[in-house]
Amino acid sequence: MLKTDPQTLCGNLLEYSFLQSCGVALLGKADGPFAIHSTSHNSLLLFGANDSNYAKTSFEDAHALYPFDVALEHSASFSVSNGVVTCVMGKSTSTGSTYSEAAMRALIAMKQVADK
């Protein structure tokens, strides 16, 4: 797992680090592109590809509910003030411009604290 402050992560780095924190098997690089195996579709899903042969999408766009499912498992709470979303998960607090971004950062921070 990247040992970077989750608040500084965005885009592919944030998504990759979040999935890695969840124990998802990943193929590729943290700064993208990367792929995960979808058991429900029995296929590889590619994210962050900067190639005209592939549809460019992000994990957050394609699977926006997954961070909420993880947040629910950890009894996370959310608040919004001045357009900034705050997520409290365990003893970790993180912010983001969206609910899923805040949740992904909070889980990464929580896992980093647990790994110390």
What distance in Å separates the CA atoms of residue 53 and residue 80, rounded to the nearest whole number?
A: 38
Predicted confidence (pLDDT) per residue in 74-87, tens digit = 999 999 999 999 99
CB atoms within 10 A of CB 1: 13
Check the CA dihedral 13-106-103-107 and report its sign: positive
What pLDDT is recorded for position 116?
Answer: 67
Residue 60 within any structural domain of the chain: yes
Residue 73 within any structural domain of the chain: yes
**pTM: predicted TM-score of the whole model, two decimal places:** 0.79
Residue 1 within any structural domain of the chain: no
CB 33 within 8 A of CB 15: no
What pLDDT is recorded for position 33?
Answer: 83
- Pairwise pLDDT comparison (76 vs 44), residue with the higher score: 76
Strand partners, 45: 36
CB 70 within 8 A of CB 58: no
The DSSP H or E segment spanning 77 is strand 77-81
3-state SS assignment for residue 63: coil
Residue with tokens 């996370």: 76
Residue 97 within any structural domain of the chain: yes
Residue 46 within any structural domain of the chain: yes
Determine the structural domain holding residue 54 and report its residue range: 6-115
Structural domain total, the chain = 1
